[in-house]
Amino acid sequence: MAVSISSVPTTGQLPVVVVGAGPVGLAAAARLVERGLEPLVLEAGPSAGTAVRGWAHVRLFSTWSEVTDPAAEKLLAPTGWTRPDGSAYPTGGDWAENYLQPLADVLGDKVRYGVTVTGVARAGRDRIVDSGRDEQPFAVHVLAADGREERISARAVIDASGTWPTPGPLGADGLPALGEKAAAGHISYRVPDLGDPVVRARYAGRRTAVVGSGASAFTALAALADLAEEETGTHAVWILRRGITGSTFGGGEADQLPARGALGLRAKAAVEEGRASAVTGFRTQAVEHDGDRLVLIAEDGRRLDPVDEVIVLTGLRPDLSFLSELRLGLDDRLQAPTALAPLIDPNVHSCGTVYPHGVNELSHPEQGVYLVGMKSYGRAPTFLAMTGYEQVRSVTAAIAGDREAAERVELTLPETGVCGGAGLFDEPDAAQDSEGGGCCGAPATVQIGTGAPATASGGC
């Protein structure tokens, strides 16, 4: 197997490696360029926004004005690029094709595709060794699509690889349910694209269990409810581990992200109108075959009527395996940076109460490594794109040695609901006519240091 070793004598001459060419990773690269630093973005997929393209059919909760980074727009401007209508709601596909890929193209050879990061460590030091640790550059091990292994030296590492590749399982205890792997042919972990004839045929006229209680579950329920109006026999069974309360369907008309509120209302209508039925307090332990159909079994012994398909939307998880030789400070529940975790804990924060944060909350015992974007939130679902853009503005300032700018964090978050990345919303005009407000009262602009406050509201 071919190998390649990069070797540069001092960390000051080395690039900052950014893992992932998604919205936050590319924003980090743009900020580094703005600071006169050299980024090297490593993307496992074949193009920019590979994960975003995985939900290309889904419309974001947020408008174009809320999902582009200012530094990125400055890089794009000389190319003749103009941001699409700021009041329009892009789909994941729109976001990737009309913003992320053009931005990656401007960055040119600073972005490499088809390379998977397999490990990050201090050069010549495993996680045990103290001596000379902070003076050593990072060694980033990658595997290219052609099988070539490479070792890249870096002055700092920004991990913006997200959580898309690692969805949560069906089992309520966080492990795969008994029989889940054997039933894989009838289980999906993504919101289905019912505009695809093959996918549509999979669910049309069939009974489908949707497991989960967040925005992705709402999206799937709304899509299946629409399908039920056109295809006789189509029905969704919504599986919730908890009961239905006043906040189950999100903020509704009071949501500061109107499209997100409208999505929850569509899911609620699907249940109330009988196109979907809800099963509450059901914690899946096992799945069994009943001929060609599946039966879900709860921890309390309840067995559901057979279904044809199961859509599991129980959240996403960070892949920390390639960071195992670094000294990370992570919360033992959320797998988010220790200082950040209390600010984003979904047991406490569910409606715009996330406190502004930057490099101080994102730092680890291992200096020079940062988890940003969805990856920084671990298992918490409350992330917004503009939160990630503010994170990398702060982190890149710190890497550049501008501590004053790094610690000046400004953020205004929209309130209510879970801020998970995308939703299904096809009537943007209606969304814009929705009233503001929120379950936590009027939105608060929190400002640390000087400078004008920034509005942060965007999709994942």
CA-CA distance, 218 to 247, in Å (whole number)?
13
The CA distance from 78 to 82, in Å, is 10
* pLDDT of the residue at 442: 25
- Provide the H-helix boundaries in 231-303: 258-272
* Whole-number pLDDT of residue 62: 83
Helix locations, 231-294, DSSP H:
258-272
Question: Between the CA of residue 376 and those of 46, 102, 328, 357, 362, what are the distances in Å?
Answer: 24, 25, 12, 11, 7
Contact present, 160 and 19 (Cβ < 8 Å): yes
Domain annotation for the chain: domains and CATH numbers: 3-165+316-447 (3.50.50.60), 184-312 (3.50.50.60)
Which pLDDT score, from 0 to 100, does residue 267 have? Answer: 75
Q: Which residues contact 272 (CB under 8 A, 6 or more apart)?
A: none
pLDDT of residue 242: 81
Find out whether 250 and 268 touch, Cβ atoms under 8 Å.
no
Q: How is the chain split among helix, strand and coil, in percent rounded to 5? A: 30, 20, 50
Mean residue pLDDT of the chain comes to 84
Stated pTM of the model: 0.85
CB under 8 Å to 230, separation ≥6 — which residues? none
CA distances to 165, 255, 287 from 171, in Å: 18, 31, 9
Instruction: Give the chain's residues under pLDDT 50.
Output: 7-10, 254, 351, 415-460
pLDDT for residue 448:
28
pLDDT for residue 12: 54
Task: Determine the Cα–Cα distance for residues 261 and 430; give it in Å rounded to an integer.
Answer: 11
Whole-number Å distance between alpha carbons of 218 and 344 = 21
The residue with tokens 């309360």 is 245
